[in-house]
């Protein structure tokens, strides 16, 4: 077996050298390789992706690709999903193992099991509650949903998934992002008082038995640190300066931000909506900076202005960990016959998680 290239020398390479090595490795590996790139990746990495998209789109691409190697330029849970949906038949690689998700870390299996057990003091969750996990979660939480008649959702299909869940049981336990759950539930006509917040640091989530019994959605106290940066004041300032402007936000934003927006939707929805707008439109966009910057550059020649919502730089720090140096290192090792940073979800976790993911794909098809 060929010797493995160590990472340290690659960290000293400049971006231009990495660019050349990445292109050379892609040419050598050909169809054996598929690089998946999430919209929030930095440009120096994103440009090398064979497939780009949000979590749902990339999940489908991972399931459909015949490539031997899937290099996922995203974060850990995304690489886990790729391994799960391919049944372990592809070798999934995450260039930097430190690329995680702070939102996903806010819910872990121990905390969710504790919540489920505490709910049994008030109701029978296996009879009345469908667990729904946002795809931004660890594989064992997807497996928990699969084992309890639950399902996975993305920001693209959260409404369809919740409608399915309510057709089966009275309540939903939604984790880890409270804002996606609240914004989606409100858009479906649920009053805010029927969507209660489970604080995992408090006994019984900080809720009363009556609140739990009356709740339709029990929201986990989690959030995306990037989307926490956007505030109603940013929209109000924009309205004052550009009264004919349009505001579009990701549903991971706070309820108040989404209520003030003209459009709310996933990254794919944001891209599709802005791209369809006529010349002269001015957009304020509330999502991650790399995506907004690329969209701004794309739309400027078409006479459409795209403005980032926050006055502060606001990008996903964990997505940013995947840099050209790590990508070049991973690809050079593949050329040399070495697989580094392979992500493998063990059975039976993968089987249970696959059940919840496949159910999502069935519901939204």
User: Beta partners for 175?
Assistant: 133
Give the per-residue pLDDT at 318: 66
Nearest-angstrom CA–CA distance, 307 and 282: 8
Decide if 343 contacts 45 (C-beta within 8 A).
no
For the entire predicted model, the pTM comes to: 0.93
Best CATH choice for the domain 104-225 from the list 2.40.50, 1.10.3470, 3.40.50, 1.10.1200: 3.40.50
Pull the structure tokens for residue 264: 């709310």
Give the per-residue pLDDT at 15: 95
Give the per-residue pLDDT at 315: 59
Give the per-residue pLDDT at 3: 61
Residues of the chain with CATH 3.40.50.10800: 7-100+318-344, 227-308
Decide if 81 contacts 62 (C-beta within 8 A).
yes
Q: 7-100+318-344 has which fold?
A: Rossmann fold (3.40.50)
Range 227-308 classified under CATH 3.40.190.80 = no
Give the per-residue pLDDT at 361: 87
Residue ranges of the chain with pLDDT lower than 50? 1
Give the per-residue pLDDT at 57: 86
Give the per-residue pLDDT at 316: 64
Q: Using alpha carbons only, how large is the chain's radius of gyration in Å?
A: 21
The 3-state secondary structure of 286-310, one letter per residue: ECCHHHHHHHHHHHHHHCCEEEECC
Give the per-residue pLDDT at 160: 97
Nearest-angstrom CA–CA distance, 364 and 190: 21
Q: In terms of DSSP H, where are the helices of the chain?
A: 7-11, 15-29, 43-46, 55-64, 76-85, 102-105, 109-119, 125-128, 139-147, 158-168, 178-187, 209-214, 232-241, 255-260, 267-275, 289-299, 324-335, 349-364
């Amino acid at each position: 077996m060929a010797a493995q290239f160590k990472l340290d020398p690659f960290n000293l390479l400049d971006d231009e050298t990495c660019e050349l090595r990445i292109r050379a490795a892609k040419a050598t590996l050909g169809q054996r390789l598929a690089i998946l790139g999430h919209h929030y990746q930095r440009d120096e990495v994103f440009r090398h992706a064979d497939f780009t998209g949000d979590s749902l789109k990339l999940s489908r691409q991972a399931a459909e690709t015949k490539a031997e190697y899937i290099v996922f330029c995203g974060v850990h849970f995304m690489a886990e999903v790729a391994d799960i949906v391919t049944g372990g038949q592809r070798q999934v690689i995450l260039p930097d193992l430190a690329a995680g998700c702070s939102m996903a870390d806010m819910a872990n299996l121990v905390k969710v099991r504790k919540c489920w057990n505490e709910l049994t003091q008030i109701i029978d969750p296996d009879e009345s509650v469908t667990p729904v996990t946002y795809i931004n979660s660890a594989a064992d939480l997807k497996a928990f949903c699969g084992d309890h008649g639950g399902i996975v959702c993305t920001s693209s299909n959260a409404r369809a998934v919740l409608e399915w869940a309510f057709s089966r049981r009275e309540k939903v336990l939604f984790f880890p992002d409270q804002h996606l759950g609240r914004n989606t539930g409100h858009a479906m006509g649920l009053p805010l008082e029927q969507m209660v917040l489970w604080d995992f640091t408090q006994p019984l989530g900080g809720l009363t038995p009556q609140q739990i019994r009356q709740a339709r959605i029990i929201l986990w106290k989690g959030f995306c640190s990037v989307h926490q940066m956007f505030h109603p004041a940013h929209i109000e300032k924009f309205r004052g300066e550009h009264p004919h402007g349009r505001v579009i936000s990701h549903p991971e934003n706070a309820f108040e931000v989404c209520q003030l927006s003209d459009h709310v939707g996933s990254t794919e929805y944001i891209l599709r909506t802005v791209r369809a707008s006529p010349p002269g439109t001015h957009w304020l966009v509330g999502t991650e900076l790399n995506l907004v910057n690329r969209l701004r550059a794309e739309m400027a020649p078409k006479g459409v202005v795209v403005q980032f919502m926050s006055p502060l730089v606001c990008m996903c720090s964990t997505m940013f960990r995947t840099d050209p140096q790590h990508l070049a290192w991973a690809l050079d090792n593949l050329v040399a016959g070495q697989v580094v940073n392979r992500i493998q979800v063990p059975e039976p976790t993968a089987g249970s998680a696959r059940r919840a993911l496949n159910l999502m794909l069935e519901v939204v098809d």
